[in-house]
Amino acid sequence: MLIKHSNVLRTKMMINTVSIRVFIAGIAVVFIVIFLLSNSTNIILASRKSVVSDFFTYVNSTFGMKMQVPSNWDLQEIENELNGPAVTIIRVTPAFDIHKSFDTDPSDGSTYLDINVQNNIGNKSLDSLMKNNINIIKNDNNTSDFKLLSSTTHAILAGRKAYTMVYSSTYNGLKTITIDSATLCRNRVYSATFNAEPSSYAELAQTARKMFGSLILTTMS
């Protein structure tokens, strides 16, 4: 009987030892998984941070402006190449969708951000400028399905009161979403326009808004 009881105790001790080892091994696996997930998350966040923060300062003394631009976006200085009352100063385009040329209508449906300047003919207010732009878009024969998603005349652009509107439309058969913002600087209207297809809009709009927010007017003439 003593021998049998001793064997039972030995068996129980062996079972307890195995259970403890399994428990310890399980804890070790959990810590390893947490460590790997933490490292991978840090790597992803670091990668995103480096992409977001990789900007350079573009300065244009001719039109009195400067703006932060992503280093991996293409920048074209347009200035006086457009005919008409408005002048597109620069066009900034994501590297994957570089605009081939600027010899056609700038609103060609590709992904881009433009900074424009024009004379404020008639000394229009922000509200009247926004309404006028909406009418121009609606009356454009190449544009359809216009839908105003949001609008305000209490936004800020270049540190000044501005209007901002977001709208969707179809231009020459291509659906796009556009952010259009403009401010008044003495006798001029400075505007920033970001245009993208719906599939890429959400991903790029944050970067576009950061560019909008970094715009500074360096001259007031």
| CA separation for the pair 208, 200 (Å, rounded) | 12
Q: Is residue 47 very low, low, confident or very high in pLDDT (cuts 50, 70, 90)?
A: very low
pLDDT for 32 equals: 52
pLDDT for 162-206, tens place per residue? 999 999 999 989 999 999 999 999 889 999 999 999 999 999 999
What's the pLDDT at 21?
Answer: 57
Report which of 214, 148, 205, 155 is spatially closest to residue 184, judged by C-alpha positions: 155
In this model, does residue 16 exceed pLDDT 80? no
* Domain spanning 55-217, CATH architecture: 3-Layer(aba) Sandwich (3.40)
Instruction: Give which of 203, 155, 142, 156 is closest to 177, Cα–Cα.
Output: 203
Helix (H, G, I), strand (E, B) or coil at 206: helix
Query: What does the pLDDT read at residue 96?
Result: 61
Is residue 75 within 8 Å of residue 212, measured between CB atoms?
Answer: no
Query: What percent of the chain clears pLDDT 90, i.e. is strictly above it?
Result: 53
What is the domain partition of the chain in residue ranges?
1-53, 55-217
Cβ atoms 184, 191 nearer than 8 A? no
More confident residue, 86 or 211: 211
Lowest mean pLDDT among 77-81, 97-101, 159-163: 97-101
Residue 213 pLDDT greater than 70, yes or no: yes
| CB-based burial label for 181 (10 Å; 0-12, 13-18, 19+) | buried
DSSP string, 64-79: TEEEEEETTEEEEE-G
Least confident range from 40-54, 63-77, 149-163: namely 40-54
In whole angstroms, give the CA distance from residue 123 to residue 188: 9
Is pTM beyond 0.85? Reply is no
Report the alpha-carbon angle 4-8-10, nearest 5.
115
Helix extents (H) in the chain:
2-52, 126-138, 198-214
**What is the pLDDT, as a whole number, of residue 161?**
97
> Residue 134: which region, alpha, beta or left (left: phi > 0; alpha: psi -120 to 50)?
alpha
